Structure 1
Amino acid sequence: MKALIETIVTSLVDHPEDIVVTETEENEKVVYHLSVNQEDVGKVIGKNGRIAKAIRTVVYAAKTDSGKRIYLDIM
């Protein structure tokens, strides 16, 4: 899942070397925290949050092996 998030975001940003994806697993969910360069935050979020919503839609469609829900937090 980390590779999927990194692949999607790499094509959007100017500083792909600053992309950091961390994973936190809780009882019923898996949370991925996406961090990008401060200059690229607007590009990842997009106008009215449209790009962020599209990224989340793709990530949420993927299922984990354990059947836990997936969440994406963009910082």
Structure 2
Amino acid sequence: MLAEAVEHLIRNIVDFPDDVSVKSYENNRGELLRVRVNPEDIGRVIGRGGRTANSIRTVAQALSDHRVRVDIMDVRR
């Protein structure tokens, strides 16, 4: 559910919503959400000074009952 919520949030702020994918992984440090976006949207998702990325991380943590890490990368990786 958390991955779908983050994906929905990010799809609404990018220019290429079809290129957005969010995968969830469990590890010993909690949950990892790996967000991939179009290279042209990476700046929009990170935001000025990382403000948008920090806001996305805050929302993800607020929706979760455990530790969550959000990694944002472009589709080339």
- After TM superposition, the score normalised by the length of structure 1 is 0.89
Percent identical: 39
Q: How many residues align?
A: 72
Deviation for aligned residue 1:36: 0.1
Q: Supply the distance in 2 between the matched residues of 1:63 and 1:2 (Cα, whole angstroms).
A: 10
Runs of 4+, deviation exceeding 4 Å:
none
Q: Supply the distance in 2 between the matched residues of 1:50 and 1:28 (Cα, whole angstroms).
A: 24
Describe the superposition over 1:9-48 as per-residue Cα deviations: whole angstroms up to 9, x where unpaired.
0111010000011111012401000000000000000000
Coordinate RMSD, CA, aligned:
1.0
Q: Which runs of 5+ in 1 are unaligned?
A: none
Q: Which runs of 5+ in 2 are unaligned?
A: none
